[in-house]
Structure 1
Amino acid sequence: MRTHLAAGFGAAVLVTGTLAGAPAAQARPAVAYHFHVPNGNTWTDGTVTFYNRSVLVKGVQKSVASTVEGCRNTLGYTLDSHGDPLTMNASHPMDEACSTSKSFDFVVPADVEGGAAFVRVCLADGYYTAISCNRYGG
């Protein structure tokens, strides 16, 4: 009987030692990229910062017209490693630029293990229709 107890105790110590020596899961460090998406004399410009399960999109958008078609918004789409979309978010209506430049910041979720591989940033009109887009990350 003592042999079985000793063997069981030895296995428990081995498992405990292995778990104690295992490195803790590391959080993905925040990685930032500059973006610039132009269309004629309008643009959106700023940074995208990748986190474990989201991407922060922050910057300034410029419009030279006051019509809905001429106003500008910024859209962000998170993408997985195959380039498939995860989710989308946009600058808020109060951030819309019409005949001016306006700051914005918003978070695009990427609720998958490891977060987004890429983000697609688009300059959009006042209807939130994408006019011009670029992809960042990788």
Structure 2
Amino acid sequence: MKTRLATAAGAAVLTAATVLGAPAAGAQTAAYPTTPITGVSYGASYVSGTLTWYNRSVGVDGALRAVGCRRAWVGTYDASGSLLGARSTSTKCDVTYSLDDFPSVPADVPGGAAYVVVCLDDASASPLDCEPFYRP
């Protein structure tokens, strides 16, 4: 009797472990949403690329095209318009500068940033053009 009970209990534990340890059918990791950076320009200078919306930060990839001396600035905001974090490049002159190594911009609140503002600044960090981009 004890042998049958132990065998039945052992089989139930193995079945449960197999079912619980198996990955869900069709389960995949969802990609983070992205938004193209467009329309941020002043004369022949521009900022272009892609924003990647993470849970508590926003990634920036792309380029700063500086004709004369320019800077790129990116700020994250919550839904009420409070600034969560900001990053900028140093001043770049007469060059196309890659933003692919631009550090992620903090947005350390539940759900992350509601929107981002991308600015093209002059050499003194005064905005020449700024555009908002909303989380998809």
Normalised by the size of structure 1, how large is the TM-score? Answer: 0.68
Structure with the higher fraction of residues in strand conformation? 2
Structure 2 counterpart of 1:122: 119
> Runs of 4+ in structure 1 displaced over 6 angstroms?
none
Letter in 1 for 2:134: G
- CA-based RMSD: 1.8
Cα separation, 2, equivalents of 1:78 and 1:64: 26
- State the Cα deviation string for residues 68-96 of structure 1 (Å, max 9, x = none): xxx111111101112222121112x2xx4
Displacement of 1:29: 5.2
Partner of residue 46 from structure 1, selected from 43, 49, 52: 49
Structure 1 counterpart of 2:97: 102
Unaligned runs of 5+ in 2: 1-28
Displacement of 1:106: 2.3
Q: Which has the larger radius of gyration?
A: 2
Letter in 1 for 2:42: N
Partner of residue 60 from structure 2, selected from 48, 57, 61: 57
Change (3 A) 1:111 1:100: same
Seq. identity, %: 35
Normalised by the size of structure 2, how large is the TM-score? Answer: 0.69
Cα separation, 1, equivalents of 2:104 and 2:126: 19
Q: Is the 8 A contact 1:53 1:116 kept in 2?
A: yes
Structure 1 counterpart of 2:34: 32
Q: Is the 8 A contact 1:29 1:51 kept in 2?
A: no
Q: Is the 8 A contact 1:28 1:51 kept in 2?
A: no
Unaligned runs of 5+ in 1: 1-26, 66-70
Q: Is the 8 A contact 1:54 1:111 kept in 2?
A: yes
Equivalent residues, number: 104
Displacement of 1:28: 8.4
